[in-house]
Amino acid sequence: MMNKLGGIVRGDTSKIQRLLSTATSPAKATSQSKPYVVGEPSGPTMKCEVPGPQSKSLLADLSKIQSMDSVHFFADYDKSLGNYIVDVDGNEMLDMFTQISSVPIGYNHPALLSAFDSPSAMRVLVNRPALGVYPGADWAQKLRDVMLSAAPPGLDQVTTMMCGSCSNENAFKLMHFKYMEKLREGRTFTAEEMESCMINQAPGTPNLSVLSFHGGFHGRTIASLACTHSKYIHKIDVPLPNWPVSDFPRYKYPLEENIRENEEEDNRCLALAEEAIANSGNNGCPITGVIVEPIQAEGGDHHGSNKWFQGLQQICKKYDIVYLIDEVQTGGGPTGKMWCHEWFDLEDSPDIVTFSKKMLTGGLYHKPELRPKQPWRIFNTWVGDPGKLILLDAVLKTIKKDDLLGNTLATGDILLSGLKDLESRFPQYLKNTRGRGTFCAIDCDTGARRDDVLAKLRSLGVHAGGCGEAAIRLRPALIFQPWHANIFLQKLEDVLMAQ
């Protein structure tokens, strides 16, 4: 059947298998035939352009007291439900961006709406403690029951934080502490070290660094921003330490047709990373650790192979530095595993894994040997929020009960194979389909085309995001199902047919 723009209306593709799969075996289509959140819209409904008049009016009001020109539209969170975000002008949009990948199980999920029903849960919310000095009696058990139940394999230490950026900042401290502890050979701080650090001078303030990669994004606080290399607007005019940066692989697609070239790219990037680490001491600024994303999300959805991540870990072990995997955007299940690095068949767990977004709380998991030996070294007023653990507990139980990781794999098969199909039919506009689970992306031929496609998708009721120079990035919730994927694919086809 033809649509109004002359394209073929997409039928049931629930049995389509992923053509470019990173899973060890193709996922089976989910048997769930109803939406996970009862009552969500059956499809997008658009009443006006986005932003509409109400959003424009509210932005004008907000602009009187705050500079936030980044606002796309204002949402009605009372009406948003499941996979659909509703704006203040009444537009119901299929949300494939989900608050920059931070909504785990959709809007107004019953499990979350009821999470604070008990008086004890409400008291946790109202009486927010300074967890580093006055935790509640059940705090250690909560960390075990919630945080450690979702911990990356091999990591049994966890500290909650407020956001991804501060999680990385404190992870960097653990890197530096390990390095300096090794140099001190177990001795205590000297008077000179204690005095000089108070004016940011050596030896108490050593000249140390963290290796990061071109295209990476790790946050906007100072050290995290020093490791961020995705957009100039994040960094310009901000004084930052001159830390080293190396190349993250840039692959040719389809992967199966460019095996030799991509292996050479892995080898090139690994050699550059090792060179930077090996020479850092001679350059007067030793590298104490490496920070890397499993998928460079903000920087353009760049993937690395298993060989790349395995090789990077081996280099870190060779030079006895810390291997930190930043799972702020990939953690919590969108790749079909709780942690994206679980796909990489690493010899050992990473030394540190940072998280936020879909985990609802920030924080870091790490190995026991990285525990600081003195109090107050990893600390802030709140050190997280126990109220967020109540919500995360509900999320984790829902993921298990509804097999949302399985759903994500099955829907990801459909989404990625559909993108491959559109790429083959519109090669003048699309290229480089890639993804794990529903954490998918595709490049347009130009950044201007990408922006135009996103704007037209939104006018048809699909809210997606962009990243890098010309990528469309897809970040749906874990309750995103096959028919949602088909709605998106049909809308994208409509936009491409009209180009």
| Catalytic site includes residue 178 | no
3-state secondary structure the chain: CECCCCCECCCCCCCCCCCCCCCCCCCCCCCCCCCCCCCCCCCCECCCCCCCHHHHHHHHHHCCCCCCCCCCCCECCCCCEECEEEECCCCEEEECCHHHHCCCCCECCHHHHCCCCCHHHHHHHHCCCCCCCCCCCCHHHHHHHHHHHHCCCCCCEEEEECCHHHHHHHHHHHHHHHHHHHHHCCCCCCHHHHHHHHHCCCCCCCCCEEEEECCCCCCCCHHHHHCCCCCHHHCCCCCCCCCCEECCCCCCCCHHHCHHHHHHHHHHHHHHHHHHHHHHCCCCCCEEEEEECCEECCCCCEECCHHHHHHHHHHHHHCCCEEEEECCCCCCCCCCCCCHHHHHCCCCCCCEEEECHHHCCEEEEECHHHCCCCCCCCCCCCCCCHHHHHHHHHHHHHHHHCCHHHHHHHHHHHHHHHHHHHHHHCCCCEEEEEEECCEEEEEECCHHHHHHHHHHHHHCCEECEEECCCEEEECCCCCCCHHHHHHHHHHHHHHHHCC
| Cβ partners under 8 Å of residue 187, min gap 6 | none
Q: Which of 182, 381, 400, 446 is catalytic?
A: 381
Task: Out of 357, 367, 388, 491, pick the active-site residue.
Answer: 357
Is residue 95 annotated as part of the catalytic site, yes or no?
no
- From the candidates 172, 217, 439, 488, give the one annotated as an active-site residue: 217
Instruction: Verify whether residue 217 is a known catalytic residue.
Output: yes
Contact at 8 Å (CB) between 301 and 97? no
Residues composing the chain = 499
Catalytic residue among 87, 89, 326, 351: 326
* 326 a catalytic residue: yes
Active site residues: 217, 326, 357, 381
